[in-house]
Structure 1
Amino acid sequence: MDWKGYTVIYVVLFAFATAQAVVEFTGLVDSAYWPAFALIMVLSVVKAVGVAAYYQHLRWEPRAVTYLVLGGTVAALALTGAAAYSIL
């Protein structure tokens, strides 16, 4: 990928981060918590996938590497959820 492609991805990530900040600072979180939370989470997942695909070059790797990274991510999320649940 050339610099132009990286620049486009950077601008998209910047726009999504700005959208998250706008949701947070406009008071939408206070008035409608769950829809605002869902929107922020969706934007976060889109940003994470964009970073993994383009900046970590997973888009051009063999699928086995992508599945390995995805499996590790799922395992980390499961362990985090289990740890948070055990605290309650």
Structure 2
Amino acid sequence: MHTPTVAAVPAADLPAGTTALFLTLGSALVALYTAGPDSGDWCRWRCLGCGARSWHAEMRSMAREDANDHAATCRSIPWPRPEQA
């Protein structure tokens, strides 16, 4: 049995510690990332389209819900990468 693989393409400007990505209505990404190296389950999120973000660290489940809620309503499109401009 053959298991298909997908090559990962690094996204531009993902925050360090990114653990999940959400797609906005305009195809930009919202990154969920750890709040720091010793933060445990504390996370933050940032939209790579419009720039919205969490202002403080939250438990992963709450930060994930907030990131997903933002992605579900944000119409921002991705910023072009420097090599594309």
Q: TM-score range by the shorter chain?
A: under 0.3
Q: What's the TM-score, normalizing by structure 2?
A: 0.25
Bigger Rg, which one: 1
Report the structure, 1 or 2, having the larger strand content. Answer: 2
Bigger RCO (CA 8 Å, 6+ sep): 2
Report the structure, 1 or 2, having the larger helix content. Answer: 1
Q: What's the TM-score, normalizing by structure 1?
A: 0.24
